[in-house]
Amino acid sequence: MSKDKMKNNVSLTELPKGNARGLLGFPLNLDLDNLDADIAVLGVPYGLPYYPNELSNDQSTAPDILRLNAQDAAWDEPRTLKHFDWDLGGPLLDNKNIKIVDCGNVTADFRNPREHYRRAEKAAKKIFESNATLICIGGDHGISIPIMRALPTDKPVVLIQVDAHMDWRDEVNGEKEGYSSPIKRASELNSVSSIYQIGLRGVGSGRQQEYDDAIAYGSNLISAYQVHELGIKAILERIPDDVNFYMTVDADGMDPTIMPAVNAPTPGGLNWLQIRELVHGIVKKGRVVGFDLVEISPSFEKGNTTMIHAERLICNLIGAMVRAGYYDSQ
């Protein structure tokens, strides 16, 4: 357990609820002060609400439901680790000694929701300082804000967002760190050097002011229709090489046919082949230091479709990083 205790002896993270085990069967490790891992999974269930009924929202259940419903959850011996994966050309970890742990969920404080963000930032900072790659599972898109605040500043990241929406709202009902504002807040960080927003389409909370702010900042706005017309390869050519990346993936950035369990389903999103190619391409262009998957709303699930694609997305990320040699010298 982390030595960083809060009031009333509460730790930064806690075990998944119910019968949820570590994602894909990876061991649970809540000791963030002595973390020895190449990749660390962290659940961040709670964002900051715009309305009282949003504090414990549908998205807050996603980290544990994904752990329970991932493909291997029903198997005593995780197939993902040992079986041949056609997405990757071999087993997930490529028969390498890669250390992956699940650090559980950031501990909530319902009397002071902002404390959840403080704990999330602290937990993420410990993981980054250990040189592990962070894979974060939300939670609504507000949770990306404390995670990105924890990013090291010595080598700023290129931020890759996959989303139907811009998320440039400065505030909603006076709240500046909710799910409509993560990219606006990211634009204010010294740890973020540039932003690429991919999959934009439809109508969201963004207004003309948010669009103007994004353009003034220099954000690279790439609609889903540009992706479909030009292809992922052409999009990747716009993104710099040999840099650090942080990827934030909103489930509604994908088409509802592959990720229906979202609050704002919008037709025309990225399909499975496109998001897979994008993830593999970003991994090869530089080094992904952190990744989050957010805005899964399990009550809207259709036949476990979203969870299957979420698991496959995370497996493709892990497998691509392993094959890119990220951990060969660690």
Q: How far apart are the first and last CA of the chain?
A: 24
Tally Cβ neighbours within 10 Å of residue 287: 16
Read off the pLDDT band of 71 (50, 70, 90).
Answer: low
Indicate whether 59 pLDDT > 90.
Answer: yes
Indicate whether 76 pLDDT > 70.
Answer: no
Q: What is the pLDDT of residues 83-106, one digit of tens each?
A: 899 999 999 999 999 999 999 999
- State the pairing for strand pair 192-200/220-223: parallel
Domains of the chain: 7-323 (3.40.800.10)
Indicate whether 16 pLDDT > 90.
Answer: yes
Residue of 8 and 246 predicted with greater confidence: 246
Read off the pLDDT band of 70 (50, 70, 90).
Answer: confident
Q: What is the pLDDT of residues 200-240, one digit of tens each?
A: 999 877 899 999 999 999 999 999 999 999 999 999 999 99
Q: What is the pLDDT of residues 261-311, one digit of tens each?
A: 999 999 999 999 999 999 999 999 999 999 999 999 999 999 999 999 999
Looking at residue 77, its pLDDT comes to 58
Contact 248, 162 (CB under 8 A): yes
DSSP assignment string, 215-262: HHHT-EEEEHHHHHHH-HHHHHTTSPSSSEEEEEEEGGGB-TTT---S
